């Protein structure tokens, strides 16, 4: 909070010795998002990676649309936002309430104490998104290893109460199944 008040624009030193700007005020951040001189593309020289591990992960994977600059970001965002329009979500409110009630009932009937993150907070958004996209819930991707915040310190970062699933066949990923109309509901 002190930095926000005293120096809303500050240089910070990262793990690799680079010194990017830290912008703490919302209005400044919003103004910078529209500035074409800046980039969210982690493949561009000078991108401020938060750690060596983060840099390595981003260098080995295709960037998501969150790490793309316009016009590519805007084009892909338009393609994926259709199912998430407010009217569609509001129309799903009764179904989402039923899903929530089912998860809570299952949690209350299960072992005590219950883990509300595992029993409700993680599966509910996944189920809703599967419903929105027309993908069977069984086909949703396993939890990502970035779930460290919800995993007990004694468990490995990929720990999941779900039983292991067989490895997908080549060309059989949830993303690819979205493009197979016969698999849609």
Residues facing residue 23 across a β-bridge: 9
Query: Collapsing DSSP states into helix, strand and coil, what is residue 22?
Result: strand
**Residue of 113 and 62 predicted with greater confidence:** 113
175 pLDDT more than 80:
no
Q: Averaged over 143-168, what is the pLDDT?
A: 40
Last residue of a domain, one of 81, 115, 149: 81
Provide the sign of the torsion angle of the four alpha carbons 95, 101, 104, 109, taken in this order. negative
d(CA 117, CA 149): 10
Q: Give the domain range for residue 75.
A: 2-81
d(CA 146, CA 67): 17
Instruction: Domain count for the chain, please give it.
Output: 2
pLDDT tens digit sequence for 120-142: 998 898 888 888 877 877 765 55
pLDDT at 88: 83
pTM for the structure as a whole: 0.47
Task: Answer whether residue 34 is part of any domain.
Answer: yes
- Say if residue 101 is in the same domain as residue 76: no
pLDDT at 77: 85
Percent of the chain with pLDDT over 70: 72
Provide the sign of the torsion angle of the four alpha carbons 49, 53, 58, 60, taken in this order. positive
- Say if residue 125 is in the same domain as residue 69: no
**What is the phi/psi pair of residue 22, to 5°?**
-110, 120
- Say if residue 17 is in the same domain as residue 70: yes
pLDDT at 183: 42
Identify each DSSP E strand in 6-120 by its residue range: 9-11, 21-23
């Amino acid at each position: 909070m002190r930095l926000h008040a005293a120096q809303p624009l500050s240089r910070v030193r990262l793990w690799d010795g680079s010194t990017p700007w830290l912008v703490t005020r919302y209005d400044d951040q919003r103004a910078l998002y529209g500035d074409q001189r800046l980039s969210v593309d982690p493949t561009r020289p000078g991108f401020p990676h938060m750690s060596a591990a983060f840099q390595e992960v981003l260098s080995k994977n295709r960037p998501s649309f969150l790490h793309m600059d316009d016009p590519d970001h805007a084009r892909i965002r338009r393609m994926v936002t259709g199912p998430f329009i407010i009217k569609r979500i509001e129309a799903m409110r009764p179904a989402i309430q039923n899903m929530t009630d089912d998860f809570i009932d299952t949690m209350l009937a299960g072992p005590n104490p219950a883990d509300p993150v595992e029993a409700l907070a993680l599966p509910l958004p996944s189920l809703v998104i599967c419903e929105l996209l027309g993908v069977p819930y069984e086909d949703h991707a396993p939890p990502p290893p970035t779930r460290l915040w919800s995993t007990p310190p004694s468990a490995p970062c990929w720990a999941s109460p779900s039983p292991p699933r067989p490895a997908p066949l080549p060309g059989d990923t949830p993303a690819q199944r979205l493009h197979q109309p016969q698999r849609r509901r």
